[in-house]
Amino acid sequence: MTVLSETHIQDLIALRHELHRRPEVSGQEAKTAERIAHELQKRGADRVWQGLGGHGVAAEFMGVEDGLTVLLRCELDGLPILEISDLTYASEVKGKGHLCGHDGHMATMLGVATGLAKRPLKGRVILLFQPAEETGAGAKAVIDDLRWPEIRPDFAFAYHNVPGRPLGEIGIRPGPGNCASRGMQILLEGKSSHAAAPEDGVSPGPAMAALMQALPSLSTGMIGDADFALSTLTYARLGEPTFGIAPGQGELRVTLRCMTDDRMDALVTDAQSLVAQHCSDLSVKVMWHDIFLAVTNDLEATQLAHQVAVGQGRDVYEMPTPMRWSEDFGRIGGDGAQAAMLYVGAGETHPQLHNPDYDFPDALIPIMTDLFVGIVDRILGRVQV
């Protein structure tokens, strides 16, 4: 039996569609956050924090006795991608869309808030609506917020929908769950010259050509291997689009990806060494962007979620390898919580994440509401009436 009535479910679907129409990208989620805070207050949260790490929102639901803190996390932000769909609730913001499912994750957490009207027996539940997940900046900003010690959990759970897997299937994986990743921006400065006398300048071209081959060669192994690393060239620019100037400036962008943070540290060192090796006659600046730590799922938390899912009659898929894509949830576990990310099937033929025609499956809202409330009940108990 679901925690939510049919009326609750339809209301949450309508709210999800409302959020879908008005996406806000990372760092700009002010109106979304305001809407969420209002919904949490309406659902009787004992306390609501706003402006966490930017536009983050958290709500507290207290048990009747002291105990552990269980945090459930979702994301506020959309993507800077043009939505292409004929949905009646398609994005009304040009060039922006909820094309990763964060609108559905938010609706799920509001469903959990509805279910928590009947409070836990012990401890408390924190529902965290995190900003700036897509850039890897939000979790760090929330943890750096001076109010985080008031929130810091003992257990933390989150989920992401996964196109390509059966709808409603619960994917679990203790240990490495999502890869660490970071963007490497390399700015090269030489000296421009007349195209008729390139020898009078210093072109970044030869160094860029060498790096465009050398950096991808840092890739090793396959996902699941301890030494797995993926170095992907994503952008290159040399000089200006003219015919009369030998270039003096260049830029490369590379995404580095590994299963563990230790392997990422080694990959960063190797990438920086290649830059130094090939750019000795240039001025070089390296900047790092979109830094995601690896998600490493706690064994006890993962097993607990597994048991609750089986008890609710859900199909459970034990994932043989981690996800290649990254998730900002890694910092929550890295801050000391026993944390587990769950990977929930969105349908075997569903459009992929970040596709322009992606849309979150509404059927997952009651499924994941039930699962999260069940996890809370298993850890904290429930007041009996």
Per-residue pLDDT of the chain (385 residues; tens, 9 = 90+): 689 999 999 999 999 999 999 999 999 999 999 999 999 999 999 999 999 999 999 999 999 999 999 999 999 999 999 999 999 999 999 999 999 999 999 999 999 999 999 899 999 999 999 999 999 999 999 999 999 999 999 999 999 999 999 999 999 999 999 999 999 999 999 999 999 999 999 999 999 999 999 999 999 999 999 999 999 999 999 999 999 999 999 999 999 999 999 999 999 999 999 999 999 999 999 999 999 999 999 999 999 999 999 999 999 999 999 999 999 999 999 999 999 999 999 999 999 999 999 999 999 999 999 999 999 999 999 876 5
Domains 6-176+295-380 and 180-292 fall in the same CATH topology = no
Burial of 187 (0-12, 13-18, 19+ CB in 10 A): middle
H or E segment and range at residue 360 = none
Residue 1 has a pLDDT of: 63
Which residues is 56 bridged to in the sheet? 52
Token reading at 133: 């997940």
pLDDT of residue 224: 94
The top-level CATH class assigned to 6-176+295-380 is: alpha beta
Interior angle at CA 36, CA 21 and CA 27, nearest 5: 70
In contact, 152 and 335? CB cutoff 8 Å: yes
Q: What is the pLDDT of residue 203?
A: 97
Encoded tokens for 261: 């943070």
How far is it, in rounded angstroms, from Cα 55 to Cα 34? 9
Tell me if 315 sits within 8 A of 344, measured CB to CB: no
pLDDT (0 to 100) of residue 110: 98
pLDDT at 383: 73
Fold of 180-292: Alpha-Beta Plaits (3.30.70)
CB 382 within 8 A of CB 131: no
**Can you give the pLDDT at residue 382?**
83
Q: What is the sign, positive or negative, of the torsion defined by CA atoms of 110, 112, 114, 120?
A: negative
DSSP 4: S
- The confidence score (pLDDT) of residue 221 equals 97
Side chain identity, residue 350: H
Map out the domains of the chain as residue ranges. Answer: 6-176+295-380, 180-292
Residues, the chain: 385
Do 104 and 190 meet the contact criterion of CB atoms below 8 Å apart?
no
